[in-house]
Amino acid sequence: MKWNKFTLKTRSQVEDIVISTLAEAGVEGVEIEDKVPLTEEDKKQMFVDILPQGPEDDGIAYLSFYLEEGEDKSALLERVKEALEELRGFVDIGEGTITESETEDKDWINNWKEYFHQFYVDDILIIPSWEEVSEEDKDKMIIHIDPGTAFGTGMHETTQLCMRQLKKHVGPDTQLLDVGTGSGILSITALKLGAAHAVGTDLDPCALSAAVENMETNGIPKERMEVLIGNIIDDPAVQDAVGYEKYDIAVANILAEVLVPLTPEIGKHLKPGGLYITSGILDEKEETVKNAVEAAGLLVEEITHQGEWVCITARKKRG
């Protein structure tokens, strides 16, 4: 699909109030491009796999919004310009010029690819779908991955922590539940390690297509993995579709704030003696999640760390 892109040049110090002004004028979403460095807290909350280093802040922000090709733009642009002129009476918005261009979906979906290249997690080679496997790597365990618009390349520490636990515990009969499956990388890892079947759940519909495409790229038959869209924490339909007391391993690589309410639900889906592998936990949240795990009646077996991130592996009691 083609879009008309409108880019407003302003000052980074006032981008918040300018964005609010655009919203009041009828703009339904803004893409921000600036060189303001992320704080450490920003980086933690983003929880992304790929975070390139940027240049120094120059005080300039580019705020872009999009209209579908053929959509009437005259009235909206007139409201935007009037609102910006009124704002100028109170705030220095800088240059304030608006430029127009044409773009397509792929222009912003694919630009991140320049930051994602093949790498190892211990002896597992993670390689994007657009790169070739070298001759010397062809005898390795290889996972081809294309995150699409869903998270999960394997670059993030939490994904690697979960992958290492899966290497320890997955067996040939393993039934896996992967909550927050994203690109499907953890399910695909388990299946490549010999797991019998995987079920992934995710809130983002993009995860369905991303995971299915990655399964196909890795030669995994569709009957070995199923992806469900919905919230297993509070959606009975998802809970029932996932099934109860049927999984040897449940893995959840999600932020701690989600893990706390998720953990009591996970126990219902694990077999007696089943393992719960979870990460996405900053070291400062370790005790919070550990307490939630224990309160759910699970026994903590191992806690591992990488950088400032934590992985907790626990087991459901037998009988």
Which pair of tokens denotes residue 82? 């009037």
Which pair of tokens denotes residue 86? 């009124």
Q: Is 253 marked as binding a ligand?
A: yes
Residues whose CB falls within 8 Å of the CB of residue 58, separated by 6 or more in sequence, listed in order: 35
Which pair of tokens denotes residue 137? 């790597």
Residue 267 is inside which H or E element, if any?
Answer: helix 256-269
303 has which bridge partners? Answer: 312
Which pair of tokens denotes residue 139? 């005898």
How is residue 159 annotated by DSSP?
H
Q: Is 159 marked as binding a ligand?
A: yes
Q: Among positive and negative, which fits the CA dihedral 42, 46, 48, 51?
A: negative
Cβ(255)–Cβ(224) below 8 Å: no
72-101 burial, b at 16+ Cβ within 10 Å, e below that, comes to eeeebeeebeebbeebeeeeebbebebeee
Cβ(273)–Cβ(299) below 8 Å: no
Which class for 44: exposed (0-12), middle (13-18), buried (19 or more C-beta within 10 A)?
Answer: middle
Q: Is 180 marked as binding a ligand?
A: yes
Q: Is 139 marked as binding a ligand?
A: no
Annotation: binding site: 159, 180, 202, 253
Binding site members for S-adenosyl-L-methionine = 159, 180, 202, 253
